[in-house]
Amino acid sequence: MNEFDDLPPPREGAPLRLLDGTRVLDLTTSVSGPYTTLLLADLGATVVKIEPPGYGDDVRAWGPPFLDGESLWFLSVNRNKQSLTLDYGKPEGLDVLKRMVSHADVVVVNKTASVQRKLGIDYESLKSVNSRLIHASISGFGLQGERSELPCYDLIAEGYSGVMDLTGEIEGDPQKVGTPAADLLSGTDAALAVLAALIDRNRTGLGHCIDVSMIESMTRFMTPRIVPYLGSGELPRRSGGRDSVIAVYQVFQAADAPLTIGLGNDGIWARFWAALDEPETAKELCYATNSDRRRLRTEIVAKIQAIIETKNRDFWLAAFRKARIPAGPINRIDEVAADQELRRRGFFFAAPLGETRIPQVGLGIHVDGNAHTFRKAPPRLGEDSEQVLRTWLDMDAGEYDTLKQAGVT
């Protein structure tokens, strides 16, 4: 039995079609670019994923784990797309690509500026084919500047941004975020910018060149840390599961398991001590404000820990839920995947792909009560090539066969 055998199928009903009629060409690989086009596809855009013949997107080889021969990393960010194999490094392939660009609304790439120009897929080259085109680039350092040609992965971007320096235990080593945060953030930024550009194009008729840097997306994520430093000169340091601004905002150890507690304002502070059956503690003048509590943080944390460790986590979570105290478990991934409320909301599901079922994490955005997004399972490499070329270019069988024999598609 697989871990996801009990996942429900995709919800019934019409999927979101807010971007219905929008055509997107995805020339990206790995995670950041495919995540951009996943978001657009989930919102209803038609996305054609253009991959090199023979091996496809780099992430198809990222494994184990694999499911039915496909990388589960690939399967996580490529649903609702069609796969077209096309070698646009060859003149015949670039000609086909440009013919498709003439019908496209959006092209997404994640190569450096010089590589884009070399391949003929940069904004200026494709704008000459389609003046209304929205061209979105995701790269490590942006399309301009002295670092623009450097290679980059999520790990590198996290290091540049400061997030690794602030993640981990106080005396421990820097830690990477436990998911490819820079990839996902830059991918989200690119999707957001594409949506804004589509709105503007509807008004002006003009296309746009979008330049998203993984470093800048990840660094903007650090805004609540950077601005206080710039304004005060106070350098933030690693604090483990504790926040340095809110006096009590951290992990506590119950009798059987850890839990998180955040006491972010005076009202929550009072309700918390009432839930602990010590309401008088909240009224002590030395604890009157967050600033006061910060000065006495060590004392307060020790007092809370001594109480929390006397009972099991679920006892405290029930008490805090009743008292409206921000608190929660520290879930393992298997516990997250088994979360019944997320399942009831359709957030986790298994998509059919022939005889195989593909586990998926949903969009999680509800529009008019609808969060249905599934239209197509992540594609096998090149499975839609002929259909895409016939649909987009009205290509006849003879031309397609010629391209196939030449190794272009």
In the chain the domains, ranked by start, together with CATH numbers, are: 23-221+346-405 (3.40.50.10540), 248-335 (3.30.1540.10)
pLDDT (tens place) for every residue of the chain, 409 residues total:
566 778 989 988 899 999 999 999 999 999 999 999 999 999 999 999 999 999 999 999 999 999 999 999 999 999 999 999 999 999 999 999 999 999 999 999 999 999 999 999 999 999 999 999 999 999 999 999 999 999 999 999 999 999 999 999 888 889 999 999 999 999 999 999 999 999 999 999 999 999 999 999 999 999 999 999 999 999 998 888 776 789 999 999 999 999 999 999 999 999 999 999 999 999 999 999 999 999 999 999 999 999 999 999 999 999 999 999 999 999 999 999 999 999 999 999 999 888 889 999 999 999 999 999 999 999 999 999 999 999 999 999 999 999 999 999 9
88 Cβ contact list (under 8 Å, min separation 6): 50, 94, 96, 97, 119, 120, 121
Backbone angles phi and psi of 211, in degrees to 5: -120, 105
183 is catalytic: yes
HSE at residue 392, side-chain half, CA atoms within 13 A, is 27
What are the structure tokens assigned to 401, written together? 């066969």
Distance of CA 202 to the CA centre of its chain: 27
- The residue annotated as part of the active site, out of 42, 154, 183, 384, is 183
Model pTM? 0.93
Q: Measuring CA to CA, which residue among 42, 246, 215 is closest to residue 142?
A: 215
Distance CA(97)–CA(110), nearest Å, equals: 16
